[in-house]
A and B are shown apart, each in its own frame.
Chain A
Amino acid sequence: MGKELGLQQMVGVDGGLMRFGRERPLVLDSGARLPEIEIAYRTYGRLNADRSNAILICHPLTHDQHVASAHPLTGKPGWWTQVVGEGRPLDPARHFIICSNVVGGCMGTTGPASVDPETGRPYALSFPMITIADMVRAQAMLIDALGIETLFAVIGGSMGGMQALQWAADYPERIFSAVAIGASPRHSAQNIAFHEVGRQAIMADPDWRGGDYALAGVRPEKGLAVARMAAHITYLSEAALQRKFGRELQRDGLSWGFDADFQVESYLRHQGASFVDRFDANSYLYITRAIDYFDLAASRGGVLADAFTGARNVRFCVLSFTSDWLYPTAESRAIVRALTAAGARASFVEIDTDKGHDAFFLDEPVMHRALNGFLEGAGQARGLRAA
């Protein structure tokens, strides 16, 4: 099967790198094509005999395929160990869990830092613009290559939730259920504005060099760190920042200067500084742009329900957080309204928390119980048993 599809794989027991040859270019929404793409992915658990237990996790903007195992660059635990693991809602003992780095990313999947086979040099800004639908198209190629026809579930938070919705719009017959957490059917003006601040910070860094920093052997670390700091504020909430930091100082007394006097400053600086160790600045530009371009209803005359007409048989679970001001509950309600209008089987819970958008990474027992209940019910409907 590998040969027919023009792919070579290097599969470890728990993931690897899937290579697609020139016979299988990735055709993008912009009209451009990416020949010879590579998709880096991780898996946890085993595919069962009837291939019915596969779950695809779609990662958010600043994360990657290392969902529940140590990150190769930082050594830190995976970003969703609260949800994925033994006895968790996504359990490798029952599910075959897949997560792949998105196209345009920087953890092994083809992106702006990859070498352009035409020129032999890094793509940098000659990398074509990508969209959420392009990311999903690449994921579908991976799922094909892994021999999986239908996913038991596609699950994501934030940008990952957008991908889960895009799966429902583009491949409804290939998913049994879908979970969108803290997601939105389109990026709002305020969110585009925050992304633009981040991009301008990167592009204003002299080390960005028009995107060609790799050739010069430098990295726009300052710009990327500022982008991360600004974005990180949007992932929290006023209440959570107040609870965690208040006006607490780093040391006794003010410095009467511009050092990080306040703990919140120090925290943000740390967020920025550690981010640049694991993320590529051009990837940040491309992926934030893909999110800005996301508007599921736009190509359907503004009628969101029309995106889900093929998804009547898909079970949906939509979750939002009361303090999420990046993708507020109203956005999730718009999704649920459209799913209901399309006749899909939708469940929706708004979770009460002060932790803001990032609540979906954290220890949120209500979210975990809701996810568990939903997947349990869906699993029974699909006849899943332990692998």
Chain B
Amino acid sequence: MTEPSESFREIARLVRPGARVLDIGCGEGDLLELLGKEKDVDGRGLEISPRGVQACLTRGLAVVQGDADRDLADFPSGTFDYAILSQTLQQVREPRQVLVELLRIARRAIVSLPNFAHWRVRFSLLLKGRMPMTACLAEPWWSTDNIHLCTLRDFTLLCRDLDLRIEQAVALADGRGARSINPASPVENWRAEQAIFLLGRAS
């Protein structure tokens, strides 16, 4: 799945220049390349598909073939300034565990995900009675990699449970510009098609 570059630009805006970054589920390396060019980061990637890793190698990126559910344990604590999980949390087997791992490996985590409570998703299910298919959720239920979809509200509650602090939240919807939002707001839970979170540890 290729993510709109709008979202990558928002992620890049959250990253401090020169930082050490791990991009988990980095695909063909689009975001890592952008971060290298614009923020001069020292970037590494983890990607499950050999094809993606190969594409990253061709671009001179340092990427390891591996699985977010299994291989994050290989990274020592505090190695990175940011661990980025872009449109991947909903595809892992253990989202809770992966979130905890992100903030063990890195001081901050940047997580982007589709909001299953966006109005288009709600209406699609309500009116058609079928699994929603939208720009963000483009695959039919039988071929999607998304096994743990959640809503904005679900995610903010999980962060509270895990003692993670949401330092910034940005909403993206329908090609309109990115907006800073209060992620706990019920209105945003209708309006935000995708959200990007900058997370830190609460303590």
A→B interface (CB under 8 Å): 315, 317, 336-337, 340-341, 343, 345-352, 366, 369-370, 372-374, 376-378, 380-381
Contact = CB atoms under 8 A, between A and B. Distances in A.
Interface string B38-77: 0000001000001001111111111111100000001110
A272 to B, nearest CB: 35
Interface of B: 44, 50, 53-66, 74-76, 79
B9 to A, nearest CB: 24
Given A348-B53, A377-B59, 16 more contacts: A336-B74, A343-B79, A345-B62, A346-B62, A347-B63, A348-B65, A348-B66, A349-B54, A349-B65, A350-B65, A370-B54, A373-B54, A373-B58, A376-B58, A377-B58, A377-B60
A381 to B, nearest CB: 7
Pairs A-B, 3 closest by C-beta atoms: A377-B60, A373-B58, A373-B57
Given A337-B74, A340-B75, A347 B64 contact: yes
B76 A347 contact: no
A378 B54 contact: no
A283 to B, nearest CB: 35
Nearest to B57: A373
Determine chain A's interface SS by DSSP, over half rule: helix
Contacts of A341: 74-76
A378 B57 CA distance: 10
A352 B62 contact: no
A341 B76 CA distance: 6
Nearest to B66: A348
A340 B105 CA distance: 12
Contact of B56 (A315, A347, A351, A381): A347
Nearest to B76: A341
21 contacts: A340-B76, A341-B75, A341-B76, A343-B79, A347-B57, A347-B64, A348-B64, A348-B66, A349-B53, A349-B54, A350-B50, A352-B50, A366-B50, A372-B58, A373-B54, A373-B56, A373-B58, A374-B57, A376-B58, A377-B58, A381-B60
A372 B44 CA distance: 19
B19 to A, nearest CB: 15
Nearest to B79: A343
A341 B78 CA distance: 11
Given A345-B62, A347-B64, A378-B60, A369 B54 contact: yes
B62 A349 contact: no
Nearest to B52: A349
A20 to B, nearest CB: 37
Contacts of B57: 317, 347, 349, 369-370, 373-374, 377
B50 A315 contact: no
A373 B74 contact: no
A348 B59 CA distance: 14
Contacts of A343: 79
